[in-house]
Structure 1
Amino acid sequence: MSEGGRVGKLRRVDRDLVGLTVLALLLQGPRHTYEMHRLILDTHKDFVTGLPRSMYHAVERLVRDGLIESTGTSRDGNRPERITYRLTGEGRAELDSRVHRLLATPDPDATLFHAALSFIGCLSVDGARAALAERAAGLEGQSTSAQAQLQTLSARLPRVLLVELEYEQRRAAAELDWTRGLLDDLDSGELSWPDDLAQLMPMPGTEQPEEPQQTEQAEQTD
């Protein structure tokens, strides 16, 4: 983070929503890639695109960077052998950092905030509050700046040339209002979650989902 605890601009890696999703799915415990693939589909993480290939590439990057690691392989009956992965200590810290940055930093790409909200429970309640407070400050600055520009420019330009600035000011103001409401819910306790996410969403049982048409090994070689 930058001085004063402010995040600043997003890094390129912060925009890797597939990698973020893999890190978040491993927070509860080890999983293999097919299970993660099914969870992404079943929980409608629509911001994750290019499946399944993008997920396998993300897993490779995360292993290379030491953020996740293999716990070995397993085979269930006649099903293909699968590699199981788990989060490392570095991966846990990186997950916190990425979610915090995406929550705290207003960005023209609204998909990034959508993804961050999807994984807000990866942070502690206090951590989420701190990140959203940073976002509120940034949005307030954007709204105030856009309003000042409108007042200056409207004196010499027709409105038709300023409607995009009107939109930006209204968008920032509306998002600021919503973010402040979420902060109020955190402060009042209306929105809360346990530090141990296993209490919030237990790991699935031993029942196996149906097999995909392609095996994991075949998908990885695409």
Structure 2
Amino acid sequence: MAVPTTRLMVLAVVRLLQPVHGYDVRRELLSWHADDWANVKPGSVYGALNTLQRDGLISVEEVGQDGARPERTTYRLTAEGEKEFGEMLREALFAADQLKHPYFASVALFPHAPKADVLAALRSRILKFESDLVFLDREQERILAGSGNPSEAEPFHVADAMRLQADHVRADLEWSKRTVRRIESGELDVWGLAGPPPIK
């Protein structure tokens, strides 16, 4: 069973920055772009903090208010949270599950769409992937140019997570380019096979 990513990442940031406010956990994960490469949605962070507290993995250090600002809760990892984090991290590190990408279904259904639509969609993906790679490469450079100290900037290991994401994007980009070439050359022609005509 896959490790719940949001739970693992929120525990990790509490452990890294404790004592820490929920707002700072959310901000830290956003600065890491974890919403992109780890699918940690910003809105899920507070719910995760509540669940972790309920489960005894984090505890409230203090609840305070600074002037007219809203009340803020500060969290710290418990001994049980430290143990759970270690177990979840080990399980995640040794996981070798292959991605179940929703686009795989689209590829299997190419014959049911007009060839022109498939080519247009592939070309659109190529442009998107090329743009994503420019952003990811620049972000890696920016992170590695910082101090790496998590109290000042994004830690260097975030650049490695982004590099893995970029490698997946590169693989998708190369597959998309190769598939366009194969369709244009006639090597991949699934539209002349028997079966229902493509949708209009």
TM score, norm. by length of structure 2: 0.47
Larger Rg: 2
TM norm structure 1: 0.43
